[in-house]
Homo-oligomer: A and B are copies of this chain.
């Protein structure tokens, strides 16, 4: 958390951005919900409950900024709104999501499994991969019934 704040302050200074009450609150909401994928509206409501002095336009603008400095990642789960997720680590990029097509739950996967695939693509296609966004659709442990095998 201390690391987060310092990282943020450096990044903001670098870009000439300021850190005020609203931005601190939005960042706090994101930090306290690292495992979730909050929408703008959800972030707005969380922040509003902490302090009514914030407008939704500020949330849109702040999230665009946090995407730019790579503090968060913008995601799309086909539910009509953009969702945002704390960027766990941009070097060992691992935006993998397992989406259950029965219960709808979204599970994060904290491993980078695609190193080999990305090397293969570079060798075969000459395309140099820097990041990826991966969504796997299927049945979660609870919904596919088979805890065995």
- Verify A141–B125 contact, CB threshold 8 A: yes
Given contacts A98-B125, A109-B125, contact A137 B141 (CB under 8 A): no
**Contact mask A56-79 → B, CB, 8 Å, 1/0?**
000000000000000000101010
| A98 cross-chain contacts in B, Cβ below 8 A | 121, 125, 127, 129
A118-149 interface mask toward B, CB cutoff 8 Å, 1 = contact, 0 = none? 10110001111111111111111100101100
**Contact indicator A130/B138 (Cβ below 8 Å):** yes
User: How many copies of this kind of chain does the complex include?
Assistant: 2
- If A78-B74, A113-B117, A114-B117 touch, whether A137 touches B126 (CB-CB below 8 Å) is no
What range describes how many residues of A lie at the interface? 20 to 34
Q: Return the contact of A130 from the options B76, B132, B139 (Cβ within 8 A).
A: B139
Q: A113-B117, A127-B144, A132-B134 are in contact. List 8 more A-B contacts (CB 8 A).
A: A113-B121, A117-B117, A126-B147, A127-B136, A127-B140, A130-B139, A131-B137, A133-B134
Residue ranges of A at the interface with B (Cβ–Cβ < 8 Å): 74, 76, 78, 98, 100-101, 107, 109, 113-114, 117-118, 120-121, 125-141, 144, 146-147
Give the 5 A-B residue pairs with the shortest CB-CB distance, closest first: A126-B141, A129-B138, A76-B76, A130-B138, A131-B137
